[in-house]
Amino acid sequence: MPQLNSAPAARNDDASRAETLLLAIVNIGQLATFRGSGRLRTGAELREPALVRDAALVCEGSRILFTGPAAEMPSVPREAEVIDADGRAVLPGFVDAHTHLVFAGDRLDEFERRVRGESYEQITAAGGGIRSTVRATRTASEEELLELARGRFQRALRGGTTAFEVKSGYGLSIEDEMKMLRVVRRLREETGARISGTFLGPHAVPPEWDGRADEYLALVVEEMLPAVAREGLAEHADIFCERGAFSPAQARRYFAAAQKLGFRLRAHVDQLTESGGAILAAETGCTTADHLEQTGAEGIAALAAARVQPVLLPASVYALGRTRYPDARAMIAAGLAPVLATDFNPGSSPTLAMPMVLSLAATQMRMEPWECLTAATVNAAHSLGWGSELGVLEAGRRADFAIHDVRDPRELAYWFGSDTALATVIGGRVAWRRERW
């Protein structure tokens, strides 16, 4: 049986927080550990949560020391913080593997126009859309963007999210893209959360390069990518491959350059129109292919053959008032390891609530509740290279998890429209806790 150290020791992953924290969650009704094969999950494994009833969870510093039946819990010293979950469910923290968390302004006027009948593409063609957020983001200082990002980070904790992927893509100049990615780095440093940066310079053609997408892409490839790589500001490179944004040929050029510089690749593909994006993602060695609303059987087969993870973003379909969701059932049948994420951004998906995403995945894409939960935790962690430390609650893993106001974890995909977390723990520290339970 594991023993707890009662003497404070230095945390090895965060020297500035000198004391080892001891945190115990007791009286857990259902604990979904997702303990298992240690790799990303496909097929029937998507429905195997490795559930423990009447459970406890103990953390030492930023790591998990024990998860299992309450009867086997090690004794904790008096200075340990103990939270009584009162029969609630505990789950790994959600890993939101596709967000545009850093931006200024909003797109409320465009939202109203869409409600009145204009389409997302029409608004983009009229100079709005991504370009409108680019204008606001360029004007904002790094400090202002960081303050906005902090508030959003706090909000996401209420849904039980503990780790993020955050894209640039609203700067579209070297200075402004770097500014966004520095905000991502500062947010990671000050929160201690796992936050991964993605460069998305080819998100749109900026106004000063209007009609010269190839020239803008040359700037991206020759100057922006190397500058981002030099400063180590992003691990991944992403592109918006879509009519009116960048073509498959341009995406190939970009990915070849990004790969040479050591970036791992993610791609916005087949969102509004089918442009062979899934096949492109498979052929270029992408880690993930994101969106895929329009992807058919051929694209799904290509993703499966190349073991690309599909990142499904149903909240963006919903918020754009569209009706065609990605074919998750066909993807699962093909042996793919799906990921669910918010796509949080001011245009197509103004939400940070992972529970809402799970609900949409269940009702609109027929993903079973456990499939949804696996996609949002274990599989999402793997898509960002965090598979060995996040997404699974067992000894030695990082202590990122949430206590939710439900008895059965499947309820997260059932009740919808409200944040469900009672307490969210990041690296063994309570990052957010609801005032009264």
CB of 410 to Fe ion, least distance (A): 27
With CB under 5 to 8 Å by kind, the binding choice for 348 among Fe ion, ligand NIG, none is ligand NIG
Q: Is there a contact between 383 and 54 (Cβ–Cβ < 8 Å)? A: no
- Least Cβ distance, residue 114 to ligand NIG (angstroms): 11
Q: Which is nearer to ligand NIG, 245 or 381 (CB)?
A: 245
- Considering only the stretches 105-113, 339-347, 390-398, 422-430, report the one whose residues sit in contact with Fe ion under the rule CB under 5 A: 339-347
Shortest distance, CB of residue 113 to Fe ion, whole angstroms?
A: 20
Residue with structure tokens 């790799």?
A: 39
Taking the CB of residue 260, how many other CB atoms lie within 10 A of it? 12
What is the contact mask toward ligand NIG in residues 112 to 151, using x (rule: CB under 6 A)? Answer: -----------------xx--x------------------
368 HSE (CA, 13 A, CB side) = 10
Residue 242 interacting with Fe ion (CB under 5 A): no
Residue with tokens 């990052």: 431
Cβ 307 to Fe ion shortest distance, Å: 22
Q: Return the bridge partners of 166, or none.
A: 99, 197
C-beta of 49: minimal distance to ligand NIG in Å? 29
Distance in angstroms (rounded) separating the CA atoms of residues 225 and 338: 28
Strand, helix or coil at 347?
coil
**Count of Cβ atoms closer than 10 Å to residue 208 Cβ:** 9
Within 10 angstroms of residue 400's Cβ, the number of other Cβ atoms is 31
- The residue from 96, 110, 343, 405 that contacts Fe ion (CB under 5 A) is 343
Residues in region 190-249 near ligand NIG by CB under 6 A: 240
Select the residue interacting with ligand NIG from 30, 99, 275, 345 (CB under 6 A).
Answer: 345
Q: Say which DSSP state 74 is in.
A: P
At closest approach, how far in Å is the CB of 100 from Fe ion? 6
Q: Which of 63, 158, 268, 410 binds ligand NIG (CB under 6 A)?
A: 268
C-beta of 277 vs 347, nearer to ligand NIG: 347
Q: Which residues of 325-341 are buried (b: 16+ CB within 10 A; e: fewer)?
A: bbbbebbbebebbbbbb
> Looking up tokens 């690309």, which residue turns up?
308
Shortest separation between residue 292's beta carbon and Fe ion, angstroms = 12
Q: Does 270 contact Fe ion by CB under 5 A?
A: no
- Element (DSSP H or E) covering residue 236: strand 236-237
Q: Which of 124, 33, 133, 129 is nearest to 399 (CA)?
A: 33
CB of 68 closer than 8 Å to CB of 84: no
- 218, 225 contact by CB (below 8 A): no
Of 293 and 343, the one with the shorter C-beta distance to Fe ion is 343
Tell me the site size for ligand NIG, rule CB under 6 A.
14
Determine if 270 is a binding residue for ligand NIG (CB under 6 A).
no
Choose one: 115-123, 172-180, 296-304, 335-343; the region binding Fe ion (CB under 5 A): 335-343
Q: Interface residues with ligand NIG (CB under 6 A)?
A: 100, 129-130, 133, 240, 268, 271, 316, 343, 345-349
Q: Interface residues with Fe ion (CB under 5 A)?
A: 343
